[in-house]
């Protein structure tokens, strides 16, 4: 699943490519790809309201990509794309036909198209009026952004919290946007075992973890994210940060710091790689 750096990379690319763009039409090729849960527009409203909408802003919150629109009916409508395992958003030239697995096509006024494709159909698009956002349980319970809080605030999140530290990092209600890759990489850099009890990690080490987490997230963003299998950015290019992984996906290989063979076990329900010597 794309994590914070991948979704941020896509958002930045789309923000450039879709600046001042307008939507002339929408083709819903797979009805199940439009989520119509509490507070969201239904299929008919979606198809009726999107044509003529202006794209005001493209941004990210947690692992979700948002497009803020102004429509004839309302000054602000949010399109929320949850890419999950295989979702992709790419801007395509005029006359480009939908490819296999293209689920929604947004035709742009200048002739280009925005394709939402999803091989495994786990991803979704949701159109949320401003008044509907508070009723979206996922949105209402998201934790803070790791790049928007300081080390003191980050360390304070753990006060009185039991359980494993990696489990908390993966909990989107605790802190938003972190997944398996960047949890493993930041814990390694901070020298903290992924199965460590959170309430036994000192405040100083938690502040160090925040420093390493911010660093690894920013490095990944600069490298256009990590491409393990399906991820590409808004222009169809793969990321490169996977070339710099220190632990993720490297079980049984030598630690880049001490040459100890990296261990693998299941932590917080996820395959986890770490170094017995460097992480304590």
In order, the DSSP letters of 17-53 are: HTTT-BEEEEEES-GGGB---TTS--HHHHHHHSTT-
Q: Which tokens is 200 given?
A: 């036994």
Position 232 scores a pLDDT of 79
Q: Which tokens is 258 given?
A: 């001490």
User: 270 catalytic, yes or no?
Assistant: yes
**Hey, which bits of 112-161 come out as E strands?**
113-118, 124-129
User: 63 catalytic, yes or no?
Assistant: yes
Position 239 scores a pLDDT of 80
Length of the chain measured in residues: 280
Q: Tokens 């295989």 identify what position?
A: 86
Catalytic residue among 2, 5, 129, 194: 2
Position 229 scores a pLDDT of 66
User: 280 catalytic, yes or no?
Assistant: no
Using the CB atoms, write b or e for 109-136: b if 16+ within 10 Å.
eeebbbbbbbeeeebbbbbbbeebeeeb
List of domains in the chain:
4-140 (3.20.190.10), 151-274 (1.10.8.50)
Position 67 scores a pLDDT of 97
pLDDT tens profile 143-156: 999 999 999 999 99
Report the SS3 class of residue 46.
helix
Q: Which residues of the chain have pLDDT under 50?
A: none
User: 2 catalytic, yes or no?
Assistant: yes
Biggest CA pair distance of the chain: 61
- CA proximity to 270, closest of 138, 165, 170: 170
The strand pairing partners of 23, in sequence order, are: 108
Catalytic residue among 60, 63, 126, 166: 63
Catalytic residue among 121, 264, 270, 277: 270
Q: How far is CA 261 from the centre of its chain?
A: 30
The DSSP annotation for 3-19 comes to: -HHHHHHHHHHHHHHTT
């Amino acid at each position: 699943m794309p994590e914070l750096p991948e979704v941020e990379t896509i958002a930045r690319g789309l923000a450039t490519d879709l600046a001042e763009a307008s939507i002339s039409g929408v083709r819903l090729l797979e009805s199940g790809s439009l989520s119509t849960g509490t507070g969201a527009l239904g299929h008919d409203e979606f198809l009726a309201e999107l044509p003529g909408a202006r794209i005001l802003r493209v941004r990210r919150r947690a692992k979700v990509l948002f497009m803020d629109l102004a429509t004839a009916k309302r000054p602000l409508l949010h399109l929320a794309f949850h890419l999950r395992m295989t979702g992709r958003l790419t801007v395509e030239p005029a006359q480009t036909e939908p490819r296999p697995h293209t689920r929604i096509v947004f035709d742009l006024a200048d002739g280009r198209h925005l394709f939402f494709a999803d091989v495994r159909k786990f991803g979704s698009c949701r159109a949320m009026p401003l008044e509907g956002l508070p009723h979206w349980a996922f949105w209402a319970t998201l934790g803070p952004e790791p790049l928007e809080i300081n080390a003191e605030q980050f360390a304070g999140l753990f006060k009185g919290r039991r359980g494993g530290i990696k489990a908390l990092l993966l909990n989107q209600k605790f802190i938003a946007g972190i997944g398996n890759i960047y949890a493993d990489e930041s814990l390694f850099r901070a020298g903290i075992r992924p199965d460590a009890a959170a309430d036994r990690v000192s405040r100083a080490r938690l502040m160090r973890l925040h420093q390493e987490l911010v660093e690894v997230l920013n490095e990944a963003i600069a490298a256009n994210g990590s491409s393990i299998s399906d991820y590409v950015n808004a222009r169809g290019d793969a990321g490169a940060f996977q070339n710099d992984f220190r632990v993720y996906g490297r079980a049984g290989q030598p630690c880049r710091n001490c040459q100890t063979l990296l261990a693998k076990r299941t932590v917080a329900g996820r395959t986890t790689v770490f170094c017995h010597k460097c992480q304590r």
